[in-house]
Amino acid sequence: MTGALLGTLTGVGLLLIWTSSTRPAAPTVAVPPRPMSDLLAQAGLPGVRPEQLYAVCAGLAFAVFVVVAGVSRTASVAAAFAAFAAYAPLALVKRRRAHRTAELRVLWPDVVDNLGSAVRAGLSLPEAVAQLAVRGPEPLRAEFERFAVDHRATGRFGDCLDRLKATLADPVADRIIESLRIARDVGGSDLGRLLRTLSQFLRDDARTRAELEARQGWTVAAARLALAAPWFVLAMLSLRPQTVAAYDSAAGVAVLGCGAAVSFVAYRVMLRIARLPEDVRVLR
């Protein structure tokens, strides 16, 4: 009886070992990139969903089409300005993202310095991050306050860092957060030196980028003015329906289409030429 029981248990054990070794590994599900969600988060609008932004674009385009069509009585001209209106909310969000990124670029060295001071003072890493809600730069205190509340409620440092990273949606924040995560998981005495080096690097990068942006700012502004001038003239002409009635013909539609295509290509080329290298979120 004992031998039969031992044989059965041995067989079951071997069967379980064989099953576990031959079971296919669970497929790794890659998290798809969410550029529009990142754009809204970087613009300081984490509560706005991409669908809401698209709805605003569509609603504004429809309103502009109705107004311009009523004034000019020319559907092709109204459609052209409706297309510009549809892009306007997205352009506003991108501009807001650019201003916020420039603002945070100046603030991140102070964040790193505060973290380094807290670590040297003997605070734990969760306490060092949470104290930024009080001692950190004013524009970032709300995000770190949410981290502090989240950590007090859950006590899970890694999960709280993930949510903080998703809220900030910034490449520099990704590097800082991953450095803190590694220091918490594997330890190490070089965290203070790492933070000091990162702070100096961020200050040098912000100073150089500010000089380049100041030098090219007037050039970009002049290019945008030159791009908008023809469409401003068309907007003035649309106040006289008999003047723009020709744009309802096939030739007029072709002229508007070619003008819009040339304007779009020229604008994209201008942005491409004037664009400075930007950090990419590789540690999302």
| pLDDT single digits (tens) 197-218 | 888 888 888 888 888 877 777 7
248 lies in a domain? yes
pLDDT of residue 30: 39
What's the pLDDT band for 31 if we cut at 50, 70, 90? very low
| Confidence (pTM) | 0.71
Taking only the tens place, the pLDDT of each residue in 62-83 is: 999 999 888 888 888 888 889 8
Task: Look up the domain containing 235 and give its range.
Answer: 35-274
CA torsion, ordered 187, 188, 189, 194, to nearest 10 deg? -110
Confidence of residue 225 (pLDDT cuts 50, 70, 90): confident
Burial 250-277 (b: 16+ CB within 10 A, else e): eebbeebeeeeeebeeeeeebeeeeeee
In a domain, 42, yes or no: yes
Place of tokens 């040098």: 204
pLDDT score at 283: 63
Q: In the prediction, which pLDDT does 175 show?
A: 84
DSSP state of 45: -
Task: Tell me the three state secondary structure of residue 279.
Answer: coil
What is the structure's pLDDT at 18?
53
Confidence bin at 10 (pLDDT 50/70/90): low
In Å, how far are 171, 219, 250 from 212, measured between CA atoms?
A: 20, 12, 45
Mean pLDDT score of the chain: 80
Q: Cα–Cα distances in Å, from 108 out to 37, 122, 129?
A: 22, 21, 13
Cα–chain center distance at 275: 16
On the question of pLDDT at 273 being above 90, the answer is no
Q: What is the pLDDT of residues 103-144, one digit of tens each?
A: 888 888 888 888 888 888 888 888 888 899 888 888 888 889
Lowest-pLDDT choice from 34-48, 134-148, 268-282: 268-282
Angle at 72 between CA 68 and CA 73, to 5 degrees: 100
Structural domain includes residue 41: yes
Q: Using 50, 70 and 90 to split pLDDT, how confident is the model at 188?
A: low
Pick from 119, 126, 168: nearest CA to 149: 126
284 vs 252, more confident: 252
- Whether the CA torsion 196, 198, 203, 207 is positive or negative: it is positive
The band of 26, judged by pLDDT with boundaries at 50, 70 and 90, is very low
Instruction: Give the number of domains in the chain.
Output: 1
How much is the pLDDT for 73? Answer: 84
In the prediction, which pLDDT does 19 show?
56
Q: What is the mean pLDDT of residues 3-30?
A: 49
Q: Is residue 284 part of a domain?
A: no
Cα four-point dihedral sign 154, 158, 163, 164:
positive
Q: Which of 23, 12, 53, 9 is nearest to 35 (CA)?
A: 53
Is 117 a domain residue?
Answer: yes
The token pair that represents 258 in the structure block: 């070619």
18 within domain boundaries: no
Please report whether residue 107 resides in a domain. Answer: yes
> Closest Cα partner for 76 from 245, 243, 233?
245
Please report, to the nearest 10 degrees, the dihedral formed by the alpha carbons of residues 116, 117, 118, 124 taken in order: 50
**Does some domain include residue 195?**
yes
